[in-house]
Amino acid sequence: MKYRKLGNTGMRVSEIGIGAWQLGGPLVLDGRADGHPELGREFCIDLIRQCGELGINFVDTAEQYGNGESERRVGEALKGRRGQWILSTKFGHQVGPNGERLCDASPARVPVSLEGSLKRLQTDYLDVYVCHISPVPGEAEQVAQFLSAAKQKGQVRAVGISTSSIADVEFLRSLDCLDVVQFPRSMVSPPDPIADFLAKYHVGGVVRGAFASGRLCGKYFHQPPKFSPEDIRSNARVEEITADFARHAVFEELLTPERGMVQLALRWLLDEPTTNVIIPGGKSLKDYHQAIRATELPSLTPAEQARIEQLKAGLHA
């Protein structure tokens, strides 16, 4: 496993991390699936531990995932191994008493969220604490002060936001409340000002959405997906998804015996200087073995990069 600096935080993270949304079990919000099928509590705990044995040291979760169950499973997996991990969780999204979606990152709520996450994760500090929703001017300033105090107390080492909005990123930096940005990025993403921002200010970059919601994993290029009713992707129309996924089979011309679609998608991201760690939502040890293989491959050649851009342009035409 190779490791990279997480911006200016002083932490070093494995190039491949764990996205623990998939490990929190099913969740229904406002009557619709907003989680993933149940893999089994003990299975998930063991999977995280096995990933640690492969050299993975970064895991990301959130208070909302599985209504706290993802955090509980991560905490159990890290028990006795806490010092070996860079632990990240998020605040802002919660599950209401009647299964409704709540969005609250107010000055009154964030201390409650932090205390709850620390308890579920069985730890007295977080390495990275990330806002899961857009900050609200008038509230975010007080939250930034609270997080600064939490840093001084040793409860939090670094703070940031999970977003696709450059305005959110710039606003938090203006409040001196930005060490890390978690953002969606994939081989088919358009140019992103967030990536330029990270490079300019040396902010840590955590990449999610590496496979563009399944479009780039290769699994569904030639067969329709079958999503469980517990899978968040079941909310979309299968016919539209199937056609969309099939279009991305154009990238198969770049595959080799050593580099499958998973490795191609991840290698492209690893070649970007602002990628510090990628958090694919693997559901098995095999998934993580495949992801780690991408870190062992050489960078894409300029000709391959150019061809990818050509194929992307065709997709968006």
| Number of compact structural domains in the chain | 1
Q: Each residue of 20-37: pLDDT tens digit?
A: 999 999 999 999 999 999
d(CA 29, CA 62): 15
What mean pLDDT do residues 257-261 have?
96
Token reading at 252: 């198969």
Q: Each residue of 188-217: pLDDT tens digit?
A: 999 999 999 999 999 999 999 999 988 999
d(CA 26, CA 225): 18
Residue 152: per-residue pLDDT: 97
DSSP 180-235: EEEEE--TTPPP-HHHHHHHHHT-EEEEE-TTGGGTTSSTTSSS-----TTBGGGG
Taking Cα atoms as reference points, which of 166, 38, 34 lies closest to residue 93? Answer: 34
Cβ(73)–Cβ(41) below 8 Å: yes
Q: Which domain holds residue 87?
A: 3-316
Residue 229: per-residue pLDDT: 87
In the chain, % of residues over pLDDT 90: 90
The contacts of residue 203 (CB under 8 Å, 6+ apart) are: 7, 8, 160, 169, 173, 178, 179, 180, 181, 197
pTM of the predicted model, to two decimals?
0.95
Q: Each residue of 216-245: pLDDT tens digit?
A: 999 989 888 888 888 888 887 777 788 888
DSSP helix/strand/coil, 22:
coil
Q: Each residue of 61-74: pLDDT tens digit?
A: 999 999 999 999 99
* CATH assignment of the domain containing 103: 3.20.20.100
